[in-house]
Amino acid sequence: MNSSQSSQTDLNDWALIYQNLQLIETEYLSSKLQLLFKTLPNFNDFIKLYESSKTESKDTWNLNEELFLQLIVLSLNPKCIKNRFDWEKVQKLMPKYRSLSELCFKFQSFYKALLPRQPWSYFEDQTLQQIILDYPSRCKKKWSSIANQYNHICKSEVLRNAKQCRERWNNKLDPQINREPWSKSEELNFLQLLLQNGRKWAEISTKLSIITKYKRRTEFALKHKFKQLKKYYGSKPKAKCDIKFCPSWNIQEAEMIRYKIDLLQEKSRMCQTQKFSFCEFLCSDHEFCLVIIKNGCLIKI
């Protein structure tokens, strides 16, 4: 219950809510949820828990508020049955105001087994994309705010949290995603950043996008590119490398990356130093012409 309604609740109302808690089976619930209590608090402690949670002024969740949320939700749904959660009633009973999606997300985080992932629909993708494109600061996105706005517009049974929205944008919807084939220079830049930064995919993606004029490779694409290096595991680089590598790499991994860097640099040098020569050929009509030799055959240009 938020502060505007707290005065309307007397001890009899709280006693009825607390009485419903006696119906829960902690042993059964602990198999599904990460309970923040081993035994139920007594009635006086239950009231004190409400009062202490109400006085906290921070927006972030504290342990007392999380515990109180568990108790309120379970008092209304003792067996924690899916689709029987009354979030509007929970909202009225909480010590301070939380949005319906905040309450739902927080309680979902207590589940030991993750809820099944639902595929994104075209409408969901379009909604999320429009919210982000209209967002005041596209450089500094507050994903919890974006998720709340998204759920308010979609009004779907499947609620999306901040992490899901962020990953969907970064890996699928961002128009700056680079889906072109890798060039040798881009791959070389990636490997050099990989050697220096380790498995910090988000950081590498940002740094690489600056080099490639803000066309961004997704973290998934970078991980996939790294997995392709495994065939070079155990190979040793020929030349010395001036790049300082991240201490998180072991010797074999660092040598594997350096070996691939050597290969790319050697190919680059060959392309730059390769020289072409031409010869003049006399045609049947006694005129000179320029030709190329392909598969042992002369082809007139």
What is the structure's pLDDT at 100? 86
- DSSP letter assigned to residue 222: H
Average pLDDT over residues 117-124: 87
Segment of 217-221, 287-291, 293-297 carrying the highest mean pLDDT: 217-221
pLDDT for position 191: 92
Tell me: pLDDT of 299 over 80. no
pLDDT at 162 over 50: yes
Instruction: Show the DSSP H helices in the chain as ranges.
Output: 11-21, 26-30, 43-55, 63-76, 87-93, 100-108, 122-133, 143-154, 162-168, 184-197, 201-211, 219-227, 251-273
Q: How confident is the model at residue 6 (pLDDT cuts 50, 70, 90)?
A: very low
Lowest-confidence pick of 4-18, 206-220, 281-295: 281-295
* Range with the largest mean pLDDT of 30-34, 55-59, 167-171: 167-171
224-266 per-position pLDDT tens digit: 999 998 888 888 887 777 778 889 999 889 889 998 988 888 8
How far is Cα 112 from Cα 196, in angstroms, rounded to an integer?
Answer: 37
The pLDDT value given to residue 298: 60
Residue 194: the pLDDT is: 93
Question: What local confidence, expressed as pLDDT, does residue 134 receive?
Answer: 87
Q: What's the token pair of residue 291? A: 């030709």
> What are the residues whose beta carbons fall under 8 Å from the beta carbon of 207, sequence distance 6 or more?
193, 197
How many CA atoms are closer than 13 Å to the CA of 43, on its beta-carbon side? 11
Q: Are 104 and 159 in contact (CB under 8 A)?
A: yes
Return the pLDDT at 300. 64
* pLDDT above 50 for 89: yes
Task: Please give the full DSSP string across 128-194, using - where no structure is assigned.
Answer: HHHHHHT-S-SSS--HHHHHHHHHHHH--SS---HHHHHHHIIIII-TTB--SPPPHHHHHHHHHHH
- Given a contact cutoff of 8 angstroms between Cβ atoms, the answer to whether 222 and 201 are in contact is yes
